[in-house]
Amino acid sequence: MLYYLFDYLHKQFAFPGAGVFQYISFRAAMSVITSLLITIVFGGKMISFLRRKQVGETVRDLGLTGQKEKEGTPTMGGLIILAAILVPTLLFAKIDNIYIVIMLITTVWLGALGFRDDYIKVFKKNKEGMKPRTKILGQVTLGILVGSLMFFSPDIRIQEKQHVTEYSQTHNLQVSSTYEKAKQQFTKESIHSTKTTIPFVKGHEIDYAWLIKFIGKDYQNYAWLIFIPIVILIITAVSNGANLTDGIDGLATGTSAIVGSTLAVLAWVSGNIIFANYLNIMYIPNIGELTVFIAAFVGATAGFLWYNTYPAQIFMGDTGSLSIGGIIAVFAILIRKEWLLIILCGIFLIESVSVMMQVSYFKYTKKEYGEGRRIFLMTPIHHHFQKKGWPEPKIVQRFFLISIILAVVTVITLKLR
């Protein structure tokens, strides 16, 4: 909203300093500062309010050190994160941008889904919360909505790099600026496409439509048949992965802040034609505006750590964990970098895989030998290390280090072929 106000003041009255709101970098900086202030300033008040209302966590006895001390710690702190994302985005982003609209829908949708789950656990005293199929249905519905908007919206388009021969034959190579040089490397017309980035391969891209090429020459018109299910799968997997990671103080929050910072870099270079040309990646017009949104996300998650680090004064609950996982997934899909999440969200992946391995092996051995056996002492895998006697802060710090390494590797893949 402030963008439109200062844009008007700049154009109509040449108001001093108003023109700075044209720069994404400035608005992203203001977004992260505002979100940090919201979480830090209002976080304490939120904790006091939740304590007065006795909105506390009910802890199951899993035999973990220090677990019972967390009984009664305020939960549903994800509401602070959601507010710290939504308010700066509405203030500093162009809210008529289709990508911003999709991210706002995602944030509110998954926030409401997580809030419903927490409400059942806290106020209805049902430790199981929302039925798994209801939760999955909510995530699938969001996936259908996001996938449909991306496939059918005329505002979501990309510009591809031209072939060298085509470029040299149709353009004058003597240009005066880096911007013009970069601009000439891409097709003049933006196109509707289901292409995405895939690491470690020549060309760095894959088109989902190729997977159904066998149906005939009009296969691209039916690409939604494969595209939408893939979107659903990614949103569900990453959202639930973040949910599983939220098991010890600060782990999911800090990891998400690292992931969000990396996604901010990826969004900015994808929306900047000069850097897109340098990195030899697809240029996505108007996608740079998402930098403002993800800056708010980073500020919100980093700010929440003020109260969520060990020993946590508040838990985010499913209101937060479902939301941050879904936001990361949808954001990566929009910037066409979803397959990089396999590396970038390695912590979420390891947590999820550890649970699947444990459950599968337990069922197999119970059927085969009459008694269930385990691979890990406990899953998700952070609990395995707790069982081995590692203090919570040590587990979290080491997982943070791994996450930072994975973030660096993710960025490096843009130049690897």
Confidence band of 69 (pLDDT split at 50, 70, 90)? confident
Q: What is the mean pLDDT of residues 387-391?
A: 92
**Does the pLDDT of residue 220 top 70, yes or no?**
yes
Return all residues near 154 (Cβ < 8 A) that are at least 6 apart. Answer: 192
- What does the pLDDT look like over 271-311, one tens digit per residue? 999 988 888 888 999 999 999 999 999 999 999 999 999 98
Spatial separation of the C-alpha atoms in residues 249 and 382, rounded to whole Å? 11
**Does the pLDDT of residue 31 top 80, yes or no?**
yes
Q: What is the structure's pLDDT at 121?
A: 85
Q: Which residues pair with 158 in a beta bridge?
A: 191
Q: Is 367 exposed, middle or buried (0-12, 13-18, 19+ CB in 10 A)?
A: exposed
Q: What is the structure's pLDDT at 299?
A: 97
**Does the pLDDT of residue 172 top 60, yes or no?**
no
Return all residues near 334 (Cβ < 8 A) that are at least 6 apart. Answer: 99, 102, 103, 150, 287, 290
Q: What is the structure's pLDDT at 122?
A: 84
Q: Are 247 and 383 in contact (CB under 8 A)?
A: yes
Residue 413: closest CA among 199, 260, 265, 262 = 199
Spatial separation of the C-alpha atoms in residues 403 and 166, rounded to whole Å? 41
Q: What is the structure's pLDDT at 169?
A: 47
What phi, psi does 60 have (nearest 5°)?
A: -80, 140
**More confident call, 73 vs 97:** 97
Q: What is the mean pLDDT of residues 125-149?
A: 91
Q: What is the structure's pLDDT at 168?
A: 47
Q: Are 120 and 141 in contact (CB under 8 A)?
A: no
Q: What is the structure's pLDDT at 251?
A: 95
**More confident call, 168 vs 361:** 361
**More confident call, 195 vs 58:** 195
**Does the pLDDT of residue 247 top 60, yes or no?**
yes
Residue entry with tokens 């980093």: 302
Q: Does residue 215 sit in helix, strand or coil?
A: helix
- What does the pLDDT look like over 367-383, one tens digit per residue? 999 899 999 999 999 99
Q: Where are the alpha helices (DSSP H) in 171-210?
A: 178-184
**Does the pLDDT of residue 161 top 50, yes or no?**
yes
Spatial separation of the C-alpha atoms in residues 387 and 369, rounded to whole Å? 25
Q: Are 330 and 106 in contact (CB under 8 A)?
A: yes
Confidence band of 62 (pLDDT split at 50, 70, 90)? low
> Which amino acid, one-letter code, is at 172?
N
Q: What is the structure's pLDDT at 261?
A: 97
Take residue 96 and report the two structure tokens written for it: 């008529």
Strands (E) across 233-327 are located at: none
Q: What is the structure's pLDDT at 27?
A: 95
Q: Does residue 130 sit in helix, strand or coil?
A: coil
Q: What is the structure's pLDDT at 392?
A: 92
Residue 325: closest CA among 249, 241, 407 = 241
Q: How much of the chain is in helix, strand and coil states, percent to nearest 5?
A: 70, 5, 30
Spatial separation of the C-alpha atoms in residues 389 and 141, rounded to whole Å? 41
Q: What is the mean pLDDT of residues 243-255?
A: 93
User: How much is the mean pLDDT over the chain?
Assistant: 89
State what percent of residues in the chain have pLDDT above 70: 94
Q: What is the mean pLDDT of residues 176-203?
A: 79
Q: What is the structure's pLDDT at 71?
A: 75
What phi, psi does 159 have (nearest 5°)?
A: -120, 130
pTM recorded for the entire structure: 0.93
Q: Is 52 exposed, middle or buried (0-12, 13-18, 19+ CB in 10 A)?
A: exposed
